[in-house]
Structure 1
Amino acid sequence: METLYTSRLHGFPNLSRAVSESPLTEESMLSLVIVLGSSVSLVGLVFAFITYSLFSDLRNLSGTALMNLLAALFMTQLLYVIGVGGVPDPELCIALAFSLQYIRSCVLCWMLVMAHHMYTQFSTNLHLTPITDNSIGKRFLRYSVFAWGLPAVLLGASVIVQYREKGGKILDTASLKEQNCWFLDKNAFIYGLILPSTLLALTTFSYLIRSALVARYVVNMQVDKKLRDKMKRKRKLQLLLFTKITLLLALIITLGALTKLIRSEILWISYHVGQGLQGIFVAMMVTCNCQVLKLYTRTFKSRGPRQGTSTFGNIVPSAKTLLGKGVSISKSTSLQLLTWDPTPDPV
Structure 2
Amino acid sequence: MNVSLFRSWNPSDGMMKYIPNGHVLKPAEYFITSNDEILVCNFFKQSVVRNVTHTESFFEYSKAQTIVSIVGSLLSLIAVILTFLTYALFASLRNRASRLIMNLIGAIFLGQFLLLFGGNENENACTTIAVLAHYAWLAAFAWMNALAFDLNRTFGNTDNLQKVNEGMSMFLYMIYAWGSPFLIVIPCLVLHFCQCTQVNFKYGSVSACWISDGTANLLTFGVPAAIFLLFNAILFGHTVAGIRSTKRATARLHQDTSTLKRTTKELLIYIKIASLMGFTWIFGYVAAFTGIEALWYIFIILNSLQGVFIFISFICNRRVGLLWSEKLKLSGPKAAQKSSTSGKTYRHRAAYAPGTRMTGYCSSMQSDLQQDGSDQPLKEEMKV
| TM-score normalised over the length of structure 2 | 0.63
Instruction: State the Cα distance separating 1:343 from its structure 2 match.
Output: 2.9
Q: 1:232 to 1:176 in 2, by over 3 A?
A: same
Q: 1:238 to 1:115 in 2, by over 3 A?
A: farther
1:257-278, Cα deviation, whole Å (9 max, x unpaired): x3xx99x7959x947x955873
Amino acid across the alignment from 2:268? L
Give the structure 2 partner of residue 198 of structure 1. Answer: 226
Rg larger in 1 or in 2? Answer: 2
Distance in 1, matches of 2:292 and 2:339, equals: 60
Question: Once structures 1 and 2 are overlaid, which stretch shifts more, 191-200 or 222-231?
Answer: 222-231
Would you say the 8 A contact 1:93–1:181 is kept in 2?
A: yes
Hey, which of these two has a bigger chunk of strand by percent? 2
Q: What amino acid sits opposite 1:335 in the alignment? A: Y
What is the CA–CA distance in structure 2 between the aligned matches of 1:189 and 1:95, rounded to whole Å?
16
Determine what percentage of the aligned residue pairs are the same residue: 17
Equivalent residue, structure 2, for 1:242: 273
- Residue 322 of structure 1 and its aligned partner are, at CA, apart by 2.6
| Residue of structure 1 aligned with 2:303, choices 248, 255, 278 | 278
Letter in 1 for 2:167: G
Quote how far apart the aligned CAs of 1:147 are. 0.7
Superposed, 1:1-347 pairs within 5 Å as 33-83=68-118, 86-123=119-156, 126-127=158-159, 129-131=161-163, 135-163=165-193, 166-167=195-196, 176-186=204-214, 188-222=216-250, 224-226=252-254, 236-245=267-276, 246-252=278-284, 258=288, 266=293, 270=296, 278-279=303-304, 281-289=305-313, 292-299=316-323, 322=337, 327-329=342-344, 330=347, 332-336=358-362, 337-339=364-366, 343-345=378-380, 346=383
Q: Which amino acid aligns with 1:183?
A: I
Q: Decide whether aligned partners of structure 1 residues 218 and 154 sit closer, same or farther in structure 2, where only a CA change above 3 A counts.
A: same
Q: How many Å separate the matches in 2 of 1:118 and 1:32?
A: 35
Structure with more helix by fraction: 1
Q: Secondary structure at the match of 1:144?
A: helix
Rounded Cα–Cα distance in structure 2 between residues aligned with 1:208 and 1:275 = 23
Aligned alpha-carbon RMSD (Å): 4.3
Report the alpha carbon displacement of residue 72 of structure 1 after superposing the two structures with TM: 0.9
**How far 1:224 moved relative to its partner?**
3.6
Who is 2:27 aligned against? none
The equivalent residue for 1:18 is none
**C-alpha distance in structure 1 between counterparts of 2:337 and 2:111, whole Å:** 38
Separation in 2, partners of 1:80, 1:275? 14
Shift of 1:231: 8.4
Q: Distance between the aligned counterparts of 1:90 and 1:169, measured in 2?
A: 22
Q: Over residues 95-118 of structure 1, what are the superposed CA-to-partner deviations in whole Å (9 max), with x where a residue is unaligned?
A: 222222111111111111111111
Point out 4+ residue stretches in structure 1 off by more than 4 angstroms: 27-34, 168-173, 227-235, 252-255, 264-267, 273-277, 313-321, 323-326
Alpha-carbon distance between aligned partners in 2 of 1:172 and 1:115, rounded to the nearest angstrom: 31
1:24-60 deviations in Å (ceiling 9; x for gaps)? xxx9866654444333322122112222333444312
| Larger RCO, structures 1/2 (Cα 8 Å, 6+ apart) | 1
List runs of 5+ in structure 1 lacking aligned partners. 8-26, 304-309
Task: Tell me if the contact between 2:280 and 2:302 (Cα under 8 Å) persists in the aligned partners.
Answer: no
Residue identity matched to 2:317:
L
TM-score norm. by structure 1 comes to 0.69
Deviations 1:128-154 (A, max 9, x none): 72535xx01111111111111111111
Aligned length: 301
Give the distance between the partners of 2:281 and 2:90, measured in 1 at CA: 26
* Paired letter, 1:238: I
Equivalence for 2:46? none
Which runs of no fewer than 5 residues in structure 2 stay unpaired? Answer: 6-18, 21-61, 349-357, 371-376
